[in-house]
């Protein structure tokens, strides 16, 4: 965690650090929200159950905050958090987190940035829900990832796993994998060292427009 000194980080880990193994559930949807978590090592998947199906909402990495619903008294968990690897977190009760927040402008900035990102991700999920075909959902997610990397024209490489892409597209992993194969066969993307290489963003954007026109014709 770059916002605080190494000595302060070690002190916090000594008092509030927790370790989870790959696959461990950190908290479950519906549990009382009593702690805010700051991810120090590893990756965490945020999952929500819709009827009988679990959907990945986000894949979190080192430095991310999660479980911030604990800052609202009496708030239950609205999703589950599962360790995607061996994980180290800081588990802070609201009072301790507020003390840390008030003493570090960088931590406060990180929280604001994360909340803004959550709002943006929510808007992306709503947009993808309005798209009907799977290919449009995946293409839209890839274009947004390229945009977040500062690439809107020319070529781009985005580092994203099938699980992360499924969370962004709002689809299950197997559907995402099949769709990626279709895009690769159409020469819109390449897979290079676990990254998605897009050689022509304009061509991918034209495909997205074409898919939208086809959907309008079907409707």
Q: Token digits for 91?
A: 């588990």
What residues contact 89, with CB distance under 8 A and at least 6 apart? Answer: 17, 18, 20, 26, 37, 38, 39, 40, 44
Task: Express each pLDDT in 183-208 by its tens digit.
Answer: 999 999 999 887 899 999 999 999 99
Map out the domains of the chain as residue ranges: 6-128, 131-218
**Distance of alpha carbon 168 from alpha carbon 142, whole angstroms:** 9
pLDDT at position 1 over 50: no
Predicted confidence (pLDDT) per residue in 105-148, tens digit: 777 887 788 788 777 777 777 777 778 889 999 999 999 889 88
Of the candidates 16, 218, 25, 10, the one whose C-alpha atom is nearest the C-alpha of residue 131 is 218
pTM of the entire predicted model: 0.68
- Domain covering 131-218 assigned CATH 1.10.10.10 in the classification: yes
Query: Shortest CA distance to 216 belongs to which of 130, 93, 116, 157?
Result: 130
What is d(CA 218, CA 25) in angstroms, rounded to the nearest whole number?
43
Q: Class of the 6-128 domain?
A: mainly beta
């Amino acid at each position: 965690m770059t916002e605080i000194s190494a000595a302060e980080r070690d002190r916090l880990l000594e008092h509030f650090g927790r370790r989870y193994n790959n696959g461990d559930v950190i908290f479950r949807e519906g549990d009382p929200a009593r702690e805010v978590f700051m991810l120090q090592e590893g990756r965490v998947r945020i999952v929500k159950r819709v009827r009988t199906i679990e959907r990945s909402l986000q894949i979190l990495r080192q430095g991310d905050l999660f479980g911030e619903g604990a800052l609202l008294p009496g708030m239950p968990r609205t999703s589950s958090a599962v360790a995607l690897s061996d994980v180290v977190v800081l588990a802070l009760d609201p009072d301790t987190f507020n003390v840390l927040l008030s003493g570090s402008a960088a931590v406060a900035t990180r929280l604001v940035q994360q909340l803004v990102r959550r709002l943006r991700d929510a808007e992306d999920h709503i947009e993808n829900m309005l798209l009907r075909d799977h290919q449009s959902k995946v293409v839209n997610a890839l274009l947004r990832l390229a945009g977040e990397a500062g690439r809107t024209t020319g070529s781009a490489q985005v580092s994203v796993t099938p699980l992360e892409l499924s969370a962004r597209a709002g689809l299950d992993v197997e559907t995402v994998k099949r769709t990626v194969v279709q895009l690769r066969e159409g020469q819109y993307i390449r897979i290079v060292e676990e990254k998605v290489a897009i050689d022509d963003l304009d061509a991918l954007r034209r495909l997205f427009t074409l898919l939208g026109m086809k959907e309008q014709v079907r409707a």
